[in-house]
Amino acid sequence: MNNNPIGVFDSGMGGLSVWQTLQQTLHNESLVYLGDGLRCPYGDRSAEEIFRFTVEAVERLREEGCKLIVIACNTATAVAIERLRAAYPDTPFVGLEPAVKPAAEASQTGKIAVLATRKALEGELFLRTSSKFANRVLIIKAVGEGFVELVEQDMEHSDEALYRVKSVIEPLVEQGVDYIVLGCTHYPFLRDAIEQVVGDRPVQIVDSASAIERRVEYLLDMHHLRADDDNVPQYRFLSFADDDYIASLRKKAFG
């Protein structure tokens, strides 16, 4: 047994959508969430910048004694996950990638959409995954322009959010997709707006949080890292931004 915390990292607040799933499922596991905040969003930054920021976060989480680290950022995963595993062989990592497989296997129209940052859609990880299903479905890629900023500014339920979401989602629905894959952990916070745009049309919205939780459980068991059954979990929030941002992380996590 190991009562050290699980670390969760994202460029900002988006990874809290993964944090919430872990917190609700792994009832006796402590969690340390690090949302960069200072340099968010990562989507248009260079690969070397993203890698450097991610290493800074990993080092900070290792200082906190984290026994396993979730890179709860699709962009950081696309750029850094393989290099992180090589650089820190003693730390199990869980990375994120869009849930293309379940959407492709379930699609009835033969068309699915993947909504992500530009950097994630251009990454080798996504290209490798999507190529496996290219002969089964048409994968339509779309960038959620401004979506991350809306979540960071706590504007998910604003008129502007609905306008921005509609401008991206409506063309996808009109092209006949029956699955929209949320390929950025910020985007689930905009689910209400997305569902409002989709309306009663037969389109399913999927994200990666449940798959990530299952992978975390698998690695906890494989490396004998589960906390004691009677461990009382502690939840900490860190950032490279200021104390106000940390307070916002905590508020959104439990909101």
Query: Is 73 among the residues known to form the active site?
Result: yes
Select from 160, 151, 212 the least CA-distant residue to 13: 151
Query: Is 40 among the residues known to form the active site?
Result: no
Task: Please classify residue 229 by burial: count the beta carbons closer than 10 Å to its beta carbon, then call 0-12 exposed, 13-18 middle and 19+ buried.
Answer: exposed
Catalytic residue among 22, 26, 73, 161: 73
C-alpha–C-alpha distance, residues 80 and 227, integer Å: 28
The answer to whether residues 213 and 205 touch, using CB atoms and an 8 Å cutoff, is: no
φ/ψ (deg, to 5) at 111: -135, 125
Task: Please classify residue 12 by burial: count the beta carbons closer than 10 Å to its beta carbon, then call 0-12 exposed, 13-18 middle and 19+ buried.
Answer: buried
Token pair for 229? 């059954």
For tokens 């992180």, the residue is: 84
Catalytic residue among 34, 184, 206, 209: 184
C-alpha–C-alpha distance, residues 195 and 46, integer Å: 32
Instruction: Catalogue the active-site residues.
Output: 73, 184
